[in-house]
């Protein structure tokens, strides 16, 4: 692939901007400056140095981010900062999108990609990809509420009762539950239907990926990691 096209695909600007970067000697491959925009470069295993920044070529990009509270999952936020400000501008230029959304006040694991099929497969209700949440409850939870969640609660926009895949009290006011439904405010609505309310919400796992484990072992709030092929296989292992 031509070098200028590689840079453009990776999110380093328009074709003209990428051509200028190359002609200014700002692109190195294996330590050598490549200043010809039309140079044909093999992309497999390609590692570039662009304006002193090391960049690994990825045909499609997959990212896991630990979302802090106070960020909107939107490119055009209305009242808070955009979650996309936590990602490199190159990924925003590539038009990565979040796989579903987390509310402004919800923290935890959020995935991004520029692979439309990947996003659809993880978002589709037909795929039944599980997600695990910890909900800090407004009032102490009860065994009866847990049983209601497991049996299924009625939601206005669902024709049948919606059950949690699992639910248990970790503390008096801390409930852990897993679901495979991606509806708007679904965890908060389910807990409300069971007779309690959510004070704080955190998503700890998505599919086979869990914060604090594996590739996400050292991920802190506001940080992200690229997911590689083995991580994607792990992600789908729980589906």
* Domain co-membership, 219 together with 102: yes
Q: What's the pLDDT band for 232 if we cut at 50, 70, 90?
A: very high
Residues 68 and 47 in one domain: no
Q: Are residues 115 and 134 in the same domain?
A: no
pLDDT for 77: 83
User: What is the per-residue pLDDT across 109-151, written as a single tens digit (0 to 9) for each?
Assistant: 999 999 999 999 898 777 789 999 999 999 999 999 999 999 9
* Token pair in block for residue 156: 């206005």
pLDDT band at 182 (very low <50, low <70, confident <90, very high): confident
Same domain, 147 and 193: yes
Question: Is 197 in the same domain as 134?
Answer: yes
The number of distinct structural domains making up the chain is 3
Domain of 105, CATH number, reads 3.30.70.580
Closest CA to 152 of 163, 165, 164: 163
Confirm if 34 and 47 have CB atoms less than 8 A apart.
no
Is residue 177 predicted with pLDDT exceeding 70?
Answer: yes
Same domain for 105 and 70, yes or no, is yes
Segment 3-40, tens digit of pLDDT = 999 999 999 999 999 999 999 999 999 999 999 999 99
Residues 84 and 47 in one domain: no
Predicted confidence band of residue 239 (pLDDT cuts 50, 70, 90): low
pLDDT of residue 127: 78
Indicate which CATH number applies to the domain containing 14. Answer: 3.10.290.10
Is 103 annotated as catalytic? yes
The single residue of 103, 115, 180, 231 carrying the catalytic annotation is: 103
pLDDT band for 236, please (50, 70, 90 cuts): confident
* Averaged confidence pLDDT in the chain: 94
Exposure of 48 in the CB half-sphere (CA atoms within 13 A):
23
DSSP letters, 111-155, are: EEES-HHHHHHHH-GGG---EEEEEEESS---HHHHHHHHH-B--
The last residue of one of the domains, among 12, 27, 56, is 56
Residue 161 pLDDT exceeds 60: yes
Look up the pTM and report it.
0.92
Same domain, residue pair 198 and 145: yes
- Shared domain for 76 and 104, answered yes or no, is yes
d(CA 236, CA 191): 27
The pLDDT of 181-188, averaged and rounded, is 85
pLDDT score for 238: 61
Question: Is the separation of the CB atoms in 207 and 238 below 8 Å?
Answer: yes
Tell me which residue range forms the domain holding 137.
130-206
The residue out of 18, 35, 56 marking a domain boundary is 56
Domain identity same for 119 and 137: no
Task: Specify whether 187 is located in the same domain as 222.
Answer: no
Same domain membership, residue 197 and residue 137: yes
pLDDT at 235: 86
Mean pLDDT calculated for residue range 195-207: 97
Decide which of 19, 35, 56 is a domain's last residue. Answer: 56
Report the CATH number at residue 155.
Answer: 3.30.70.1560
101 contacts: CB under 8 Å, gap ≥ 6: 73
């Amino acid at each position: 692939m031509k070098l200028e096209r590689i840079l453009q695909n990776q999110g380093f600007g328009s074709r003209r901007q990428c051509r200028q970067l190359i002609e200014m000697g700002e692109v190195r491959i294996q330590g050598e400056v490549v200043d010809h925009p039309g140079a044909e470069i093999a992309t497999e295993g390609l590692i570039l140095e662009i304006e002193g920044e090391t960049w690994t070529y990825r045909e499609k990009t997959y990212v896991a981010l630990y979302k802090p509270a106070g960020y909107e999952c939107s490119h055009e936020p209305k009242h808070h900062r955009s979650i996309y400000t936590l990602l490199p501008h190159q990924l925003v230029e590539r038009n990565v999108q979040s796989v579903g959304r987390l509310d402004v006040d919800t923290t935890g694991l959020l995935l991004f990609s520029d692979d439309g099929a990947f996003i659809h497969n993880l978002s589709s209700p037909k795929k039944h990809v599980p997600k695990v949440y910890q909900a800090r409850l407004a009032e102490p939870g009860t065994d009866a509420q847990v049983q209601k969640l497991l049996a299924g609660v009625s939601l206005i926009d669902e024709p049948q009762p919606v059950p949690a895949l699992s639910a248990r009290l970790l503390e008096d006011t801390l409930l852990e539950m897993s679901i495979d439904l991606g509806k708007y405010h679904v965890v908060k609505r389910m807990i409300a239907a069971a007779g309690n309310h959510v004070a704080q919400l955190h998503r700890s796992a998505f599919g086979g990926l869990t914060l604090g484990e594996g590739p996400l072992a050292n991920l802190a709030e506001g940080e992200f990691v690229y997911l590689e092929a083995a991580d994607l296989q792990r992600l789908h292992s729980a589906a």
